[in-house]
């Protein structure tokens, strides 16, 4: 019987990259995809060596994404790539995603979706007109306890939301930022590659996306204060944002890469009129539920009390810790279901709408800071 696996192509994600291994493992986790080709790196030797490590037919490994789209779109439907994951530095997301959509491929794109809101909206239009699936990999949304937190808030377990805080603290840029040569040669600090923001684009978008996801509510307007630390560093590395949500409640989004010694500390805390919920990425299997009249409750994956979507994202019986590979695997599985037109649940994977919102957030935060820290409405 012919395989029903989705034929997946990679752009970026070579053995020289940070995020490639996560996508390689996540894609094959539920037997829904087969990696068949791509352009894995801008370095031709690494492109070929990555493909060799995967055991790929080198006739499906290309010199650049334009060639890949042109050749693959002419192949017989039983062998050609159906979906492409885009794992390159930010400025390449838009031209690559546009080219693949125009040629009829589904797209799984890393965040931020693009470098401007205008580009993001254009991609949304093309995706709609071509009727293709488009995911933006906000990885952390795939964790079972994030799904459970979202469901508990939508079920009104904590009552009316009255305060929100989303923080993403890292310290890795300390090794780079205080050294002039290093800070001038890192792509994340180069506006031509990263876009108008570094820290916001890199991790602030995750904090923003998580906030809107778990609250089931949009951020209405923001006031941002960006910190570049050095005058010759053109982009933010440390950001504080005041937010007001659609329901009028207030809170913060804070993201930084100069929190010395911190690793990947994404924390989302939502305070309601009846209780509060708090989750952090470095201990993803614990969801903290606080109320005024009972002692702290810690909810964990795989138990009957979790939502259907949370349980769907748990592969092993309770007590077998799952991590970031599993979270991304859950996203890939949701995308596979959408591509194969199977029934999907709301929240199975972040879509292009979330990608557009992320770009809106970045642009308005940069504008707020530039105009002297003023309140600005999000428009998307
Ligand atoms: N979802 C997440 O949690 C998460 C985490 C880290 C990075 N990211 C995002 O993933 C993207 C890549 O980040 P990274 O840290 O892996 O970067 P990286 O610099 O480590 O790797 C980039 C990869 O893209 C390749 N590349 C560059 N130009 C190319 C081209 N023209 N054609 C084909 N390949 C090309 C490079 O050779 C390399 O393999 C960024 O947009 C980043 O924001 C997301």
Q: Is the CB of 139 under 6 A from ligand 1?
A: yes
Residues 178 and 30 in one domain: no
Q: Does one domain contain both 149 and 278?
A: yes
pLDDT at 1: 73
d(CA 58, CA 78): 18
From first CA to last CA, the distance across the chain in angstroms is: 45
Whether 186 and 344 have beta carbons less than 8 Å apart is answered as no
Which of 281-319 are b and which e, b meaning 16 or more Cβ less than 10 Å from the residue's Cβ? beebbebbbbeeeeeeeebbbbeeebbebbbbbbeeeee
Ligand 1 pocket, mutate which of 67, 88, 100, 111 (most atoms under 8 A from CB): 88
* Residues 249, 163 contacting (CB under 8 angstroms): yes
278 burial type by CB count under 10 A (0-12 exposed, 13-18 middle, 19+ buried) = middle
Same domain, 163 and 306: yes
113 & 218 share domain:
no
The answer to the question of residue 343 being in a domain is no
Is residue 283 assigned to a domain?
Answer: yes
Q: Is residue 332 part of a domain?
A: no
Give the per-residue SS3 of the chain: CCCCCEEEEEEECCCCCCCHHHHHHHHHCCCCEEEEEEECCCCHHHHHHHHHHHCCCHHHECCCHHHHHHHHHCCCCCCCCCEEEEECCHHHHHHHHHHHHHCCCEEEECCCCCCCHHHHHHHHHHHHHHCCCEEECCHHHHCHHHHHHHHHHHCCCCCCEEEEEEEEECCCCHHHHCCHHHHCCCHHHCHHHHCCCCHHHHHHHHHHHHHHHHHCCCEEEEEEEEECCCCCCCCCCEEEEEEEECCCCEEEEEEECCCCCCCCEEEEEEEECCCEEEEECCCCCCEEEECCCCCCEEECCCCCCCCHHHHHCCCCCCCCCCCHHHHHHHHHHHHHHHHCCCCCCCCCCCEHHHHHHHHHHHHHHHHHHHCCCCCEECCC
Count: domains in the chain: 2
Q: Which ligand 1 atom is nearest residue 14's CA?
A: 39
Same domain, 164 and 276: yes
Q: What is the pLDDT of residue 3?
A: 85
Residues 115 and 71 in one domain: yes
Q: Which atom of ligand 1 is nearest to the CA of 65?
A: 32
| 200 and 173 together in one domain | yes
Ligand 1 atom closest to the Cα of residue 39 is 33
Residue 102 lies in a domain: yes
Q: In this structure, is residue 168 part of a structural domain? A: yes
At 103, which CATH number? 3.40.50.720
Give domain status of residue 324, yes or no: no
Report the residue among 87, 90, 186 best suited for mutation to probe ligand 1: largest number of ligand atoms under 8 A from its CB.
Answer: 87
Do 133 and 220 fall into the same domain? no
- Any ligand 1 atom below 6 A from CB of 88: yes
How many residues in the chain? 380
Same domain? 171 vs 224: yes
Q: What separation in Å is there between the alpha carbon of 13 and the centre of ligand 1?
A: 6
Per-residue pLDDT tens over the stretch 204-226: 999 999 999 999 999 999 999 99
Domain residue limits at 120: 6-139
194 lines ligand 1 (CB under 6 A): no
Q: Which of 83, 116, 139 is the last residue of a domain?
A: 139
Q: Which of 86, 115, 139 is the last residue of a domain?
A: 139
Q: Which residues contact 221 (CB under 8 A, 6 or more apart)?
A: 243, 244, 375, 376, 377, 378
- Which domain CATH number covers 155? 3.30.360.10
**With contact defined as beta carbons under 8 Å apart, do 325 and 311 qualify?**
no
Give domain status of residue 345, yes or no.
Answer: no
Ligand 1 lined by 209 (C-beta under 6 Å): no
CA angle 167, 172, 176 (to 5 degrees): 130
Backbone angles phi, psi at 260, to 5 degrees: -50, 125
User: Which residue among 91, 114, 139 closes a domain?
Assistant: 139
In a domain, 378, yes or no: no
What residues of the chain score a pLDDT lower than 50?
none
> In this structure, are 132 and 271 located in the same domain?
no
Mean pLDDT over the full length of the chain: 97
Q: Within this chain, do residues 271 and 219 fall inside the same structural domain, yes or no?
A: yes
Same domain, 104 and 33: yes
The reported pLDDT for the residue numbered 18 is 96
């Amino acid at each position: 019987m012919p395989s029903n696996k989705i034929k997946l192509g990679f752009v970026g994600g070579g053995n020289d990259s940070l995020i490639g291994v996560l996508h390689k493992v996540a894609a094959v986790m539920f037997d829904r995809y087969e990696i068949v080709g791509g352009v894995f790196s801008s370095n031709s030797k690494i492109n070929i060596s990555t493909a060799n490590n995967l055991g790929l037919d080198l006739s499906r490994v290309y010199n650049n994404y334009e060639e890949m789209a042109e050749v693959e779109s002419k192949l017989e439907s039983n062998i050609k790539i159906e979906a492409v994951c885009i794992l390159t530095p930010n400025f390449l997301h838009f031209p690559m995603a546009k080219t693949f959509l125009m040629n009829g491929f589904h797209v799984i794109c890393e965040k931020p979706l693009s470098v401007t809101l205008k580009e993001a909206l254009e991609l949304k239009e093309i995706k709609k007109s071509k009727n293709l699936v488009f995911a933006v990999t906000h990885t952390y949304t795939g964790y079972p306890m994030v799904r459970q937190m979202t469901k508990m808030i939508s079920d009104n377990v904590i009552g009316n939301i009255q305060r929100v805080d989303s923080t993403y603290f890292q310290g890795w840029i300390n090794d780079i930022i205080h050294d002039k040569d290093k800070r001038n040669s890192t792509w994340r600090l180069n506006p031509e590659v990263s876009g108008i923001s570094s820290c916001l684009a890199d991790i602030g978008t995750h904090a923003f996306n998580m906030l809107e996801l778990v609250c089931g509510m949009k951020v209405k307007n923001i006031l941002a204060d960006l910190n570049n630390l050095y005058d010759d560093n053109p982009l933010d590395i440390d950001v504080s944002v005041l937010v007001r949500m659609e329901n009028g409640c207030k809170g913060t989004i804070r993201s930084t890469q100069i929190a010395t010694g911190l690793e990947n500390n994404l924390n989302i805390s939502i305070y309601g009129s009846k209780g509060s919920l708090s989750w952090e990425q470095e201990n993803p299997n614990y969801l903290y539920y606080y109320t005024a009249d009972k002692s702290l409750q810690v909810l964990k994956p795989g138990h009957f009390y979790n939502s259907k979507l949370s349980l769907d994202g748990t592969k092993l019986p309770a007590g077998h810790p799952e991590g970031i590979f599993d979270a991304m695997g859950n996203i890939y599985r949701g995308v596979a279901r959408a591509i194969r037109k199977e029934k999907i649940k709301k929240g199975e994977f972040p879509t292009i709408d979330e990608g557009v919102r992320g770009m809106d957030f970045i642009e308005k935060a940069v504008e707020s800071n530039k105009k002297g820290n003023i309140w600005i409405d999000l428009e998307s």
